[in-house]
Every structure is written in C-alpha cells, then in structure tokens.
Amino acid sequence: MSVTLKDVAALAGVSPSTASRVCKDNPSISRETKEKVRRAMEELGYEPNFQNGGGDGNKTIGIILPPSPKESFENAFHLEVIRGVSQFCNQHHYMNTVITGQDEAEILSTLSEIVKSNKADGFILTYSKQDDPIMDYLYSEGLLYVVIGKAYHFANQTVYVDNDNVLAAKEATEYLLDLGHANIAYLGSDSNLMFSADRKSGYQLALLNYGMSVNAENIIELPFIPEEHSAAVHALLARENRPTAILVSDDIFAVALERVCIEMGIRIPEDLSIISFNNSLFARLTSPPLTSIDINSVQLGIEAASQVINHIENPNLLATKIIVPHRLIERNSCARIEK
C-alpha cells in the first residue's frame, strides 16, 4: 500500500495540512517543523507531488462533481453551484476545472493525475456523503478542499459551506402542518448523502414537535434515478390512507412524483400537496409549479470559491463553516385541507 501524506503527518506529529504546506515550502511553517516533516518523508520514502500549485502560473480550482454518469449533469443544483464558483473565480482571476467520472475510482484516478502534474491549488466538493473515498484522499494528501454540505469525517479540520437543512425541512413540514395536513410523507434520496439525512431529520423533528408520531411507512428513500424506482412511490400513493402531502428532498424527485400522480389520476394540489427543495427550473416549469425551498445554489458556489481562495492566499486560517440562508417560495402545489 502506497505511503500517503497522512502517514507522513502522523509520523511527524503534525496535521496533513501542515505537511502539505511543508511540501510547498510555505514560509509560515517553522524551520523545525519543516525538518521534522522532511525526515518523516525520507524515512517513509514519500515523494511529494504537490509543490507549488498552478504549475503553469495560473491559479486553478478543481470542482469535483458526484461520481455518477447522470446525476452530475441532470441536477440543476450542480450547474448552479458551478455558475457561482465560476463567477467568483473570474472576478478574482482564478481558473476552474470540472472533475467527474462514472465512479469513484475514475475520479480518484483523475485527481491523482491533477495532483501529480501540479495543476490545481485547491478543490471544491459539490456534495458531501458518508464514508467518501474522494474526501478521504483529499484529506490524507493534505490538499486544500472546501465541501458544499456538512462534513461527515474530519469536521473540525474541514472548510464547508452549507444550508441549515434540518431547519429548512422542519419549516417546510410546519408549512404543511399549518395548512391542516396531518398525514405527511417524506420522499428523498439516500441518507448516505448528508443533505438528505438532515432534511429527513428536519421532517421528523417537525412532526414530533407537533405531537405527532413518525410513520416509517411514510418515508421513502431512493437512489438518484427515481424513474427506475417508482414502485415504492406507487405503493405509497395507492394506500387506502395515502398521505395528503409529501415533502420531497429535491425538485427532480418532485417532478418524478408528479408524473406518477398523473398516471394514477391524483390531482395536485386538490388530492396531494407537494413541497420540494432547490427551487430549480424544474420547480417553475412543472404543472402546477412547485412550492419549493430555495437554498441559494449559486450563493453556495460563490461562498465555496471565496473560502477556497481565501485559504489558498492565507494558509494559516482555521477551517471555517459557512451557513447560507434558505427561503420558501410559494407556488401552486400546496393546498389547505378543508375541514
């Protein structure tokens, strides 16, 4: 198994980020620490491969998208984030490059080549999930990265930009409760993704705060391609005591849900109210248009770019956590329950 910068840092008794700054001969690191890290490198046979960033003289940020052949390009969230990152980078004379692949192995291979050829100064992960080998690689190599989403591992050492997804989902569920809905379901992506886990938690918290029990049969979690897994949605809506409202973790899922409703002759919002997340173009073009939580995706990208550039130019900064506000956009997919 190859030696990583994390191994070097452990032997030298420093953090991976400090070891990384030694590789770059950063003047903020003391001579004593540099010597200690270099002795560890020599002892372990580690060859540093990330020396001076931007080898061609240009500062470059790598934007890492999820490892999926479809999700990265079908979900408007990632495109909006890229727009925000590019906007900020352009204003501050940084370049950016998009990194993705069919699977994690392909992304890791690409990242390794970028790092070896010294073509990036920092990275932005546009997603956060549990047990992510890509984040583990970035951390182990002492590379500078910013996560969009809550960090699962290394939270105290990770710079991240996020929404308060628990609060947002809690408020969305309370919105439905205040409309008189008592049988509310949740449709979301896998809880392995941090944003989805938080949104499910917010949904559950709202129900409990209103003195209502959480019905496990009302919670459906699916992979990222809902059209391939609609049987669970059909079963939910075919129940005799089917929900009168559904909180959906993403506009794409909400569009798939609307399609199932059309197939089953369920009217929105007369028979079923829907509230979703992201306030993407999908939410505005569906019929009826979706009430949706706007998470300010472009601003998430801007803040992520701001943080990574700030940490490139000021390497001794502590790992900051930025929360971007959300807001509920009311449209025509939710109705009050008539008593």
Whether residue 318 sits in one domain with residue 242: no
The region that residue 157 occupies, defined by phi over 0 for left and psi between -120 and 50 for alpha, beta otherwise, is alpha
Confidence of residue 256 (pLDDT cuts 50, 70, 90): confident
Average pLDDT over residues 143-148: 95
Whether residue 122 sits in one domain with residue 95: yes
- Report the SS3 class of residue 67: coil
SS3 of 84-142: the string is HHHHHHHHCCCEEEEECCCCHHHHHHHHHHHHHCCCCCEEEECCCECCCHHHHHHHHCC
Whether residue 115 sits in one domain with residue 35: no
Q: Answer yes or no: is pLDDT of 56 > 70.
A: no
Looking at the structure of the chain, the number of domains it has is: 3
pLDDT at 52 (0 to 100):
44
Q: What is the largest CA-CA distance in the chain?
A: 76
Give the residue with greater pLDDT, 31 vs 240: 240
Which of 155, 93, 128 shows the shortest CA–CA distance to 321? 155
At 60, which helix (H) or strand (E)? strand 60-64
pLDDT at 225 (0 to 100):
57
Between the CA atoms of 237, 239, 243 and 246, what dihedral angle is there, to the nearest 10 degrees?
Answer: -30
pTM: 0.83
Q: 9-13, 321-325, 330-334: lowest mean pLDDT where?
A: 9-13
Residue 277 backbone dihedrals phi, psi, to 5 degrees: -120, 155
Distance from C-alpha of 272 to C-alpha of 335, rounded to nearest angstrom? 8
Q: Answer yes or no: is pLDDT of 72 > 90.
A: no
Distance from C-alpha of 30 to C-alpha of 36, rounded to nearest angstrom? 10
Average pLDDT over residues 292-307: 97
Whether residue 137 sits in one domain with residue 178: no
pLDDT at 70 (0 to 100):
62
Query: Is 288 domain-assigned?
Result: yes
User: Within 10 Å of residue 91's Cβ, how many Cβ atoms?
Assistant: 12
For residue 41, what is the domain's CATH number? 1.10.260.40
Query: Is 201 domain-assigned?
Result: yes
Distance from C-alpha of 244 to C-alpha of 203, rounded to nearest angstrom? 15
Whether residue 218 sits in one domain with residue 252: yes
Average pLDDT over residues 123-139: 92
Q: 35-39, 205-209, 241-245, 304-308: lowest mean pLDDT where?
A: 35-39
Whether residue 58 sits in one domain with residue 42: no
Expressed as residue numbers, the domain containing 190 is 165-294
Whether residue 90 sits in one domain with residue 14: no
Whether residue 290 sits in one domain with residue 307: no
pLDDT at 177 (0 to 100):
97
Average pLDDT over residues 214-226: 84
Give the residue with greater pLDDT, 3 vs 317: 317
Query: Is 216 domain-assigned?
Result: yes
Q: Answer yes or no: is pLDDT of 46 > 90.
A: no
User: Within 10 Å of residue 208's Cβ, how many Cβ atoms?
Assistant: 11
pLDDT at 235 (0 to 100):
92
pLDDT at 51 (0 to 100):
43
| Residue that is written with structure tokens 């008189």 in the block | 180
